Structure formats: structure tokens, C-alpha cells
A and B are shown apart, each in its own frame.
Chain A
Amino acid sequence: MEDQILLTMRNITKTFPGVKALDKAGITLRKGEIHALMGENGAGKSTLIKVLTGVHPFDSGEIRIDGIEGPVVNHSPLDAQKKGIATVYQEVNLCPNLSVAENLFIGREPKTGLGFIDWRTMNKKAAKIMEDLDIDVDVALPLSNYSLAIQQMIAIARAVDMDCKILILDEPTSSLDDNEVSKLFKLMLHLKEEGVGIIFITHFLEQVYMVCDRITVLRNGQFIGEYSVSEMPRIKLVAAMLGKDFDDLASIKPEFGTTACEEIVVEAQGLSHKGTIKPFDFMIRKGEVVGVTGLLGSGRSEMVRCIYGADRAQTGTLKFKGKLLKAKAPIDSIKAGMGFLPDDRKAEGLIGDLSVRENIILAIQARQGINKTLSLAKQNELADQYIEMLNIKTASRETPVSQLSGGNQQKVILARWLCTHPDFLILDEPTRGIDIGTKTQFQKLMLKFAAEGMSVVFISSELEEMLRTCSRMCVMRDGEKVGEIEGEMTQESVMSAIAGGESK
């Protein structure tokens, strides 16, 4: 039975209050295959897995598992485990202070006749399992003695020993180095030979092409397609994930001429932050809009955070308007004339319980220093001015900002930076999760600011937006800046740059 189907999920729909997380999503997993589940953030990968493992109930659709009559509904992760579905997450859910053997058998330890734990049998069995899977560890040592990769493999070994037929690996490689990744892949291939079906979630394209047999792509909660890896060139995969069928798309001409002059505003050389972004160079001129593109996790946000000083650069130099800028904390960058709209609005942008007015004036107040308070009249004036200019929909300027809709919250943060009149503004995913009308407004504003002499760095998951606004794009891949594209940019050229490698 080459093509025995282990698992079918079909037409799965799942609604959270206000959001349709899954809309007819699905996946088909066969015996002995490694199946990549791909999609951008918010595509519904995690939700699909959580529906399968019983973390979330689903609204409609059907799950079938080989060997079980009729449709299956799992009510809890334990339920799913009993049916042979095991999940290993990025963070290892084991006990680091227990031994490897204890971790393998926790909750189902072999017992002696008297009901005590039979340590000898347990260690022997554990050693056998490790040997079978070709993992070189001493099972009596605490788990914390081993690297994250080994810990992850032990988590997998535990799952396999519990008779799992379907193994789900949710971004297991994101915190591993190359060497560790290849060890993990060896284990995955080994399991594949034994007939386990593996669902592999990752953001790294390279890795998909290294181990996977098939790919299922989700986008906006919908099933987009199932492809065989050997027949799916990278560029087509990226297109499927981003939702652009580039064959059909005529290239978009920029609607404006470049207004950039020669004055260089920011010049970075060899900046890096350990663990997030490899050394990169970056330069932007006055009045320029530069895009930073790449898949999620490619280092887009990390690069701009490093320039802004949100993550302090460990190497390299940054010149701002010709002067060396050593930012110890964001306040130094703000004083120099930078602004930064972070991608995670809730966690890093908004001060939720404070009013719209307070949220708007915070950055300019911080720049002025704690002793020079803005008078309430001045605060009101600034708040009213930007509420009107950006058309922020709020009951009043004293409304807590957390009560506003996503798009309006984003405008409040934009207003916060605009009132500091920055020379250099970084916008990381300003348009995520907001409606089309506001998106267009953001794009227009960006071009307006640039025309007035502001330099803007723009990051968006939507290529179209960037093509429309940016005169140049930095391309990021796997935590590294791999190049820049300039001049005539098309969806196709950008996508192939993102995908990298030889176009297959």
C-alpha cells in the first residue's frame, strides 16, 4: 500500500468571534510521507492543527482517520493522542530536571510486582528506543544536559513510542542551528520509513525542499492546493502562499516619480543582532520609500528593529544624517529623528488603557523629557489635529485607545510618530488586519510624507502594496539580507528574489 491515506480533513470551518479563522481548509496525509503545511501568518495552519488535536472545536467539516469508522471528533489533546496523533511544538513540553528515560515513560512507567517503578526495565527500554532511532544519549542523565535539538528528538521519540501514526511538528526547527536541523531531518526520514505520517510546519522554504514529499498551502483560512514538492518550483509556492498567480498579473507601473534626492539620511554598515539578524548594510536617501520584503521570519522586522535600536546592534555602525549614532535605547533614535511603528500593535505599540490623546502625545513627550510637560491645551490641540488629519474614528480624544478598531488604533500610533516630525519613519506591517479603505489611505499618506522629505521604510506582507509605494526593496531570507531590487519591479521578480535559489 504505497498511498494509504492516514488522515483526511475536509472543508473544516472554524469561526472565532468576528473572524473566520478557517474557511473550508483541509489536508490529506498519507502513510510514510512528510507533508509540509505552509502559509503566511494568519493563514490558519495553527488553527487547523488545533482543530485536529482537539484544542479547539470546529464548526463544520469532516475529519477521518485510517482505522476508525466514521468521522472523528477529538475533544482534547489526550483524546487525539489515544487515536495516534502526537504533536511536538517549538518549545519542548518535557521536564528538564527528569532523566531522559523518565521523560520517555512519564505517566506510564513500567512497574515491579509491588507497584514500584521498575527503574532497570525502564532504562533498558529507553536505551532501546534511543538506539532504534539512532539518537546517541545516556538515558539516565537529566534532559537538561542535552541540546534543544536532542530534547526535541526525545519528545518525538516519546510520541513515536506511544504508537503515534500521525506526528505533527509545529515549527520544530525555528530555534535550531543547521547541524541540529540535519539531525532532526535524519530522524524524520527514519520515521517516514517506518510508515509514520508527518505534518511539518515551517517557515523555511529550504527545509521544505530538503525533506518534504508534499505541500499543502493554506491562505486566509482556505485550502489553496496540495502539491508534490518535485513538481512545485519555489516561485510558484511563494505565489500560492502570498495569493498571487503571477502568470495572470500584469506588472504594475509605479504611479509616481521618485522624488528622492541625493542626501543620505540613514547609512548602516554591518549592523547585526545575535540570533536574529546577520550583519547587513542599509542606506536610505531623503524622501525615499524603501520596502523590506521576505517571508515571515525572514528577518524583515529584525532588520528594522536593529536600525531603530529596539534590539541593540552588537556589531556595525549607523550614521544618521552623516553623524554617527550609537543608540543605547530607542529614546536615542527618537531624539535623532527616527520613528518606529512596530508590527505587533497590541504588544508593542498601544498603551491600551490610556486615552487616544495620551497615546498620541507620548512619543513627543518622551522626546522632550520628563520635566517639560506639554500643557493640556497643547496636548488637546495635537490630538485634535491628528484625529482630523488621519480621520481617526473615535468617540472623543479621551476614549481609551483599546476601544478603537484595529485600523484606527494603527492611525493613533502613526499620529504619535507624525507629531514628532521624524526624518526617518519605519512602518512595520502598518496595514495588517485593517480594511482596504484604510490601507489605501496609509499608502497615500506614505507617499505624501516622502514627497515632503521624509524617508520611509515600509514592510508589508502584501507585495502589491509595496510595489505601489516603494522605489527600492531589500530582500530578506532566513535572517539575512540577500539583496536589493531596484527600478522595474514586478510581482514575479520580487517573488523569485524572495524564494531564492535557482528557479526550479
Chain B
Amino acid sequence: MKFIKKVTKLTLFLPLVCLVLVLLLNLIKDPGFFKIAVNNGVLYGRLIDILNRGSEIAILAIGQTLVVAASAGTDISVGSVMSISACFCCMLLAGFGVSSTETLRMPMIVGIIAGILLGGICGVFNGTLVAKLKIQPMIATLILFTAARAIGLLFCNNQITYIRYNPYKYLGNFIPGCPIPTSIFVTVFVIAVVAVLLKKTALGLYIQSVGINNRAARLLGINSDRICFLCYVICGLCAGIAGIVSSSRIYSADSNNIGLYYELDAILAVALGGNSLGGGKFNLYGSIVGAYTIQAINTTLLAMGVSTDQAPVVKAIIVVAIVTVQSPVFRSWISRPNRQKPVEKEAVRV
């Protein structure tokens, strides 16, 4: 009993339960859902698919979590930033105006790093508007939300730029000889870097302090603006990485479609992970679980043969159910008989 109480109190408990429930849903319909097979030397199966396809959302969710925690606002430009990063990378590799190439203009790694850095620069722009100029996060990031995709289109001279160079496909697909999709490694790498950053420096503590009480954080010696700024830069870098992965999957820069509506999934992942969109305390791993939950829903719908036109409806219903289960009102309603109401906080004198 004590063990159960302890487990249910963990912040990760509910997000994980939701993920498992979504996965179990599939068992009823298709017992073969969890089957993992090896075909042509690579792993196949729904689970692998979820892990693979969920990479972009998971990477975006990491950056988004930090932004939400520090600024109590969301970065809605991440989808567009994915697109601009991909286009910039492809433009550098193929050359401006080239619609399809088999040889690269410069080493692949240079193009990729440049694309990711451009994402970081977008983060600098967002961060400056929010942290220095105190513009509301949603308005500030709305600028790049609309503009970045269009600039990406300019980079690609209004067409889709194909990079028909095999190694460019590795990031979004498989490295020959390795049975695991490469994007999973990328995601693990990003998670590890951010986790180490949070563990080895006081960044996590600072972000939470700034998010909970900006003024108090400043008075006790934290540079609130700089922390907030930094979160937007990290978020931009994450969007850049996600953009490159996305582009590698289709070995091209399709400005109109890369990262389309991904900002919504990223925000949803943060919420599904049990994080408050009001900022403050955050749980990075919750967001990542949230991201894979979203992908699990997507894959499930696909597996069940729901048409892509109708999928959003079903997805919406599932999301509503998950959010309801996690809401504090619902939770206190569930546990009302055996728990007393928390003691009223000290009233403030008026």
C-alpha cells in the first residue's frame, strides 16, 4: 500500500499511465502491435515507429519545456524554425536555386551545423523580444511563426530542394549496418545534453525560480532576463535539430510542410507531461513522455485505419480525456474520500 502511494505521487506517474493506456488500446484491436521484426537488417514494428517518428516532437518538447517554465509563455515559432533551418541547410549543401543535387557544395556537417545554428539565431531573436523587450511570448514568437517559413521558401528559391546524396538520409532513416533508426540516437543525445546541463549546473533551479517569482529571483542575485533569454536560445537550437532530422527523412527541404503544426504538438507534449503552462516547476522527462504519447496516438490511429482527414477528431477526444485525468480538479475529486482538503493558506491582510 505504501509503495503504491509512493509511486502514484511521482510526477511522472500520470503521464506514463496515459502513455501505457494509449499503447494498450492497440492490443484490443491488433495483438501484433507490439511485435518487433528485423527486415533487411533493420528493426520494424509499431513501437519502433513511435520512437522514430516521435523524435521531432520529443526534441521540440525539450526546448518548449524550458521556455514554458521560465517565461510562462509558449514559443509558437518552433514549427516554422524547423522549416527555415532545413531550408538553410539544404540551400548551403545544394547551392541557391538548385532543385536537385547529387553532389554537395560543402561538407555535409557544415551545412547541418549551420542549419542548427540558424535555429539558435531564431531563438536569440525570440529571446531578445521576450526577455529584453518584455513582449508577450506568444506575440513575440508569432513574428517568426509567420515569417520563418516564408524566409525558408526564399532560401530554396520557391521550390523543393532535393539532396540526393545518401549520407544526408542517415539522420532521418538508418545508418547502414545499424538496425536502430538514427533519429532515436539524436533524441537520446539531445536529452542527455540538456539533462547534464540541468544536473551539472544550477540552470534548472534558476529557471524554476525565475518562472515562479521573477522579482524575487532578481533580488537574490539571479539575472532573470538572461535565464529567460537562454531558454529561448536552447528552444531555437532544438527546433533547428528537429528541422534537420525532418528534412533528412525526406532528403529535401519542403518549406511548406516541414514542421507544419509541430508547435502545437510540442506545446501539447509539455502539457501532457504534467507541466503547468503557467511556468515554474517543470519536469523534462514528463514532456518527453508526453511527446511519445502524442506520437503513439498518431501511430495508433494510422494502424486502426482512421482516415487522415478524421484523425484529428479522434486525437482531440483522446487528448481531452488525458488532460481531464491529469487536471487537479479531477484528481482531487477522485481522491476526495481519503484525503482532506489542504489547509487554507494564511490569509493576506487587505
Contacts and interface: CB of A to CB of B under 8 A. Distances in A.
A236 to B, nearest CB: 26
A56 B301 CA distance: 53
B305 to A, nearest CB: 45
A310 B220 CA distance: 10
B227 to A, nearest CB: 9
Nearest to A55: B350
Contact of B202 (A310, A370, A402): A370
Interface size class of B (residues with CB under 8 A): 20 to 34
A348 B217 CA distance: 8
B216 A366 contact: no
Contact of B217 (A351, A370, A403, A433): A351
B275 to A, nearest CB: 12
A329 B218 contact: yes
Contact of A330 (B218, B281, B345, B347): B218
B262 interface: no
Given A353-B281, A354-B209, A362-B205, A21 B216 contact: no
Interface stretch (A11-19, A160-168, A189-197): A11-19
A352 B212 CA distance: 7
A351 B213 contact: yes
A329 B222 CA distance: 9
B178 interface: no
Interface string B202-223: 1101101100110111111111
Contacts of B215: 347-348
Nearest to A366: B221
B205 A353 contact: no
Interface residues of A, number: 42
A371 interface: yes
Given A370-B201, A370-B203, A373-B201, A342 B208 contact: no
Given A371-B201, A373-B201, A42 B219 contact: no
A17 B221 contact: no
A148 interface: no
Given A16-B350, A329-B223, A349 B216 contact: yes
A19 B346 CA distance: 9
A374 B205 CA distance: 11
A330 B200 contact: no
Contacts of B347: 16-19
Interface string B334-350: 00000000001111111
Nearest to A367: B221
A234 interface: no
B73 interface: no
A403 B215 CA distance: 20
Interface string A418-442: 0000000000000001000000000
Nearest to A347: B215
B157 to A, nearest CB: 43
A354 B202 contact: no
A352 B218 CA distance: 15
A362 B209 contact: yes
A42 B219 CA distance: 25
A330 B216 CA distance: 11
A60 B88 CA distance: 72
> Which of A42, A47, A330, A363: most chain B CB closer than 10 A?
A330
29 contacts: A16-B349, A17-B347, A18-B346, A21-B349, A50-B350, A329-B223, A330-B219, A330-B220, A330-B221, A331-B222, A334-B220, A335-B221, A342-B219, A348-B213, A349-B216, A351-B209, A351-B212, A352-B212, A352-B213, A354-B205, A354-B209, A358-B209, A367-B221, A370-B202, A371-B201, A373-B200, A402-B345, A405-B346, A416-B220
The 9 A-B residue pairs whose C-beta atoms are closest, nearest first, are: A366-B221, A331-B221, A18-B347, A334-B221, A17-B347, A363-B220, A42-B349, A16-B347, A351-B209
Interface of A: 16-19, 21, 42, 46-47, 50, 310, 329-331, 334-335, 340, 342, 346-354, 358, 362-363, 365-367, 370-371, 373-374, 402-403, 405-406, 416, 433
Given A21-B349, A334-B220, 13 more contacts: A17-B344, A331-B221, A331-B222, A347-B213, A348-B219, A352-B213, A353-B281, A362-B205, A362-B220, A363-B221, A370-B202, A370-B203, A402-B345
